[in-house]
Amino acid sequence: MSVGTARASDDVVDEAALDRALEDLEAGATRWATTPLPERAALLRRTHAAVAEHAEEWALTAARVKGLDPASPLVGEEWLSGPYAALTALARLASTLDVLAAGRSPLRGLSFHAAPGGRRAVDVLPLDRTESLLLNGFRAEVWFPPGTTDQRAMLTAGLGALRVGESGGVGLVLGAGNITSIPPLDVLYEVVAHNRAAVLKLNPVLAELEGPFSRAFAPLVDAGLLRIVQGGAAVGGFLAHHRLVAHVHITGSVVSHDAIVWGTGEEAAERKRAGTPLLEVPITSELGGASPIIVVPGAWTDAELAFQAEHVATMRLHNGGYNCIAGQVLVVSADWPQRAAFLDAVRAAIAAAPPRPAWYPGSADRTAAAVAAYPEAERLGPDGGRVLVEVGSGDPHAIETTECFAPVLGVVDVPGTGQAFLDAAVRLANDDLVGTLGANVLIRPEDRAALGAGFGRAIAALRYGTIAINAWTGLGFLLAATPWGAFPGGTLADAGSGIGVVHNALLIDGAERTVLHGPFRPFPASVLRGERALSPRPPWFVTARTAATTGRLLTGFAGGRAPWLLPAALASAFRA
């Protein structure tokens, strides 16, 4: 057993080693419960320094696991969605603890305002000048359920940090196997938001990240707040039902969630019918879905068609398509005169995206299943591994109710234009698509203005945890301050896209959803049309040629290595 880790294979569970790890964590959780907030913030900053030190090892290991060419711009995804995301979360969480230690709310000084449907919202992006520079033209707000007052939101922000002295025990984090920051970010939320120590079981797909994670998060390991273990379903099952585990968090599929909660086979079905779960402790989850990309018709220029086609290609192909938040169902108007031109641009963008291997297990089978359901599907890209399905008059059920977790994009037509189209698209997204994690809406600012209050009512009607307007919901994952999870309402029997939230570095209590806003047009067209956007192409676009350099520089800046890295990163992004 290496320091801070316990090893167990899929076939043999080393119960004694796992027992010792959990006993260490139980003691660590007890100490953590009484740790003053300034000391908690200091531990997070030591962890931040360790992540910065080992960021390159983390990013390059992830790139190797995913079979990326070291010279490919796609390596930028591993910098941004790996160590960069962890660094920004650690910095924001430490800042939140500082504010709470001074007796103030993390939401004090932020802008509250009305949101549609009698709701209140608070602006959480940008929070400082750096965010204004890095994400120029983007903003984010957190909506609260109707009836939540500004005062309640401010008083309850802080979660576990408001309950010093109260231990949450030991939490089990069943780590995701796709985006490498997901496991450590889920651990951080257990530790900071819930006063827990955490045992992280790595997904076998990311087994090679054990070493980088152990070194990057050594301060948490040394404090008795983290142990990292390897293994498959047997290890996960042993831990989930261990007497010392007080809470389970899983990022994965609803099938894995239900296996933990109810078991498997006919006995599981009987438990579910009786409402008697096998799991005896609370569980939270993030389980994905078939995310919509709603394209509101309008008179788009050729440049706008091309840019938003690259946007759609990114929503589907980022990380190879192996994202729980990947855009899967492109909802377009059957009556849009530019429908064919836009789909041609989408085809071209998908086909031209840089090559990468189908690295996630089962990808070929899932892609083949989509083609079997839609024999007329188009095979795109250098090896034909990317699939575009125009459902047309066919049955949309398969593409709407199965999370492909592969480079498969469906196109579903809805009649109408303007408000009629948008309302019909919202109904489809709510009623026909599986999951409630994230929805994307693309609309010209002029068309949004013409819809007036009707646009806000449509957004309020969308039952999704993150809604991105002229942005990708993946940005909501990347941002530290925004809560990340399904729309409220998931249950043990019907988890949907999951239960609860993570990330949420402002420790907001009771958020309903996150709403992101981005620029419809890139620079320079944005400036010419009066929009705020100084980047020709966001660095997370799969078509960004300088993404690897930008990601490395941004991670170095986020790690506090040198202030000059910020202008260098901005210059690199501008050349994308």
Q: Domains in the chain, start-ordered, CATH in brackets?
A: 5-286 (3.40.605.10), 291-477+514-540 (3.40.309.10)
The pLDDT of residue 97 is: 98
Under the banding of pLDDT at 50, 70 and 90, the label for residue 2 is very low
* Location of structure tokens 């983390």: 58
Cβ pair 174, 259 in contact under 8 A: no
Question: Is residue 9's pLDDT more than 80?
Answer: no
CA 533 → CA 132, 139, 311, 505, distances in Å? 10, 11, 15, 25
In angstroms, how far is CA 183 from the centroid of its own chain? 11
Residues 6+ apart with CB under 8 A from 342: 295, 300, 305, 308, 309, 332, 336
Helix, strand, coil fractions of the chain, as percent rounded to 5: 45, 15, 40
The pLDDT of residue 534 is: 65
The neighbouring-strand residues paired with 431 are: none
Under the banding of pLDDT at 50, 70 and 90, the label for residue 3 is very low
Q: What is the pLDDT of residues 437-447, one digit of tens each?
A: 999 999 999 99
Q: Give me the sign of the Cα torsion angle 553, 554, 557, 559.
A: negative
Burial profile 262-297: b = 16 or more Cβ within 10 angstroms, e = fewer: bbeeeebeebbeeeebbbebebbbbbbbbbbbbbbb
Name the nearest CA neighbour of 218 among 84, 87, 55, 47.
47
The pLDDT of residue 524 is: 79
CA distance 375 to 204: 33
With the CA atoms of 415, 418, 419 and 423 taken in that order, what torsion angle do they form, in degrees rounded to the nearest 10? 40
CA distance 196 to 226: 10
Name the nearest CA neighbour of 118 among 145, 154, 141, 140.
145
Under the banding of pLDDT at 50, 70 and 90, the label for residue 537 is confident
Under the banding of pLDDT at 50, 70 and 90, the label for residue 329 is very high
The pLDDT of residue 397 is: 97
Mean pLDDT lowest for which of 109-123, 477-491, 533-547?
533-547
Under the banding of pLDDT at 50, 70 and 90, the label for residue 527 is confident
The pLDDT of residue 159 is: 98
CA 155 → CA 123, 149, 509, distances in Å? 17, 10, 9
Residues 6+ apart with CB under 8 A from 431: none
CA 323 → CA 113, 262, 298, 307, 357, distances in Å? 32, 25, 29, 21, 15
- Tally of residues, the chain: 576
The upper half-sphere exposure of residue 545, i.e. CA atoms within 13 Å in the direction of its Cβ, equals: 6
**Rg, Å, the chain Cα set:** 23
CA distance 311 to 301: 15
Alpha helices in 165-209 (DSSP H): 182-194
pLDDT over 70 percentage in the chain? 98
CA distance 437 to 488: 10
Cβ pair 141, 121 in contact under 8 A: yes
CA distance 158 to 155: 8
Q: For residue 134, give the amino acid letter.
A: L
The pLDDT of residue 120 is: 98
Supply 156's token pair. 């309850």
CA 61 → CA 8, 37, 55, 82, 419, distances in Å? 22, 34, 10, 11, 47
Q: In what order do the strands lie in the sheet with 112-115?
A: 112-115, 119-125, 139-143, 513-517, 466-469, 438-442, 291-295, 327-333, 408-414, 386-390, 378-380
Could you give the 3-state DSSP secondary structure of residue 3? coil
CA distance 242 to 236: 10
Question: Is residue 555's pLDDT more than 80?
Answer: yes
Q: What is the pLDDT of residues 253-308, one digit of tens each?
A: 999 999 999 999 999 999 999 999 999 999 999 999 999 999 999 999 999 999 99
CA distance 107 to 411: 40
Cβ pair 176, 62 in contact under 8 A: no
Q: For residue 166, give the amino acid letter.
A: E
Supply 240's token pair. 């989930």
